[in-house]
Structure 1
């Protein structure tokens, strides 16, 4: 299955948690239908990306990166690459590369969607498909200066500033998903 077909299948079967997320889900599907290159950075009207909130197994702590160019504390993620077999694989690859943590376990379905403006190609949109990943016990992130200006564990209820509402919403959704997967509240 192509990455484009995988994205269509994932988004077609995903159950949005609310009306705003459902509207985004439908707009992502429309975008995929309109643009055969919707998975690639070259699609300047916008392109799908994949990210993940990395959490500990309790869902109480998350790893965030201080984005080098934007200067905000954010989740891990980015552009799809030709070797990615699925959106989930792209999210897991990005989270592993950017955190330096081996052995991350990605929850099987996205936890939310986020559309945001980016400077790609002089101005474009990221249609981000966001996952939750669980880090192995005792995992410590490793900063790669090419990827990040900082990296660390933070309490999900006390994220560092500056951050943004989209990151806070993803961390909250991912924490709920991790706790639900563990059978906790």
Structure 2
């Protein structure tokens, strides 16, 4: 098994889910990995695959950076598929957040996930492991080719543009702040 597989299992086994619903997802993710091994991490796995994301927050300014995803056409946190060079879920989430936001110097709010979210996408089910990342002061985001738009939203504005998953991720991130 790969280092990423070992990390994913370790993260999910050690994570204290904040609710019974989240614990069910945690166990489902572990069962998915146990049944598929490394294959369960990668995009070609049509039964679904682990993804990693990070909500980029700027606590002093009470705002969050969201991307208007080019394929899904929804305002989302940064994130996506694990890559062969990834050795840890947290590192994959930070890599994705950096690539999609153009913000150098992002750092995770905590080494453990904030929450889990399973959702259907055009390629397969995403078993998303969601983190939070802190934006460096005065950093200017740069839109990637995966986005139609990239924009800061005040915490109170997120409910008007994002789905329940993003709203919940923001609420749980704010509770950690």
Q: TM-score range by the shorter chain?
A: over 0.9
2:83 match? 81
Matched, 1:114 2:117: yes
1:3 match? 4
Instruction: Give yes or no for contact 1:54–1:135 (8 Å, CA) kept in 2.
Output: yes
1:101 match? 103
Corresponding residue pairs, total: 174
User: TM-score scaled to structure 1, two decimals?
Assistant: 0.90
The 5-angstrom pairing of residues 1-185 of structure 1 reads 2-36=3-37, 37-58=39-60, 60-106=62-108, 107-120=110-123, 124-144=124-144, 146-159=145-158, 161-177=160-176, 179=177
CA drift of 1:57 comes to 3.7
* Deviation digits for residues 76-132 of structure 1 (CA, Å, limit 9, x no counterpart): 000000011100010000000000000000121100000000111xxx200000000
CA drift of 1:64 comes to 0.2
Q: 1:71 to 1:160 in 2, by over 3 A?
A: farther
Select between 157-166 and 58-67 the one with higher mean Cα deviation. Answer: 157-166
Q: Which 4+ residue blocks in structure 1 deviate beyond 3 angstroms? A: none
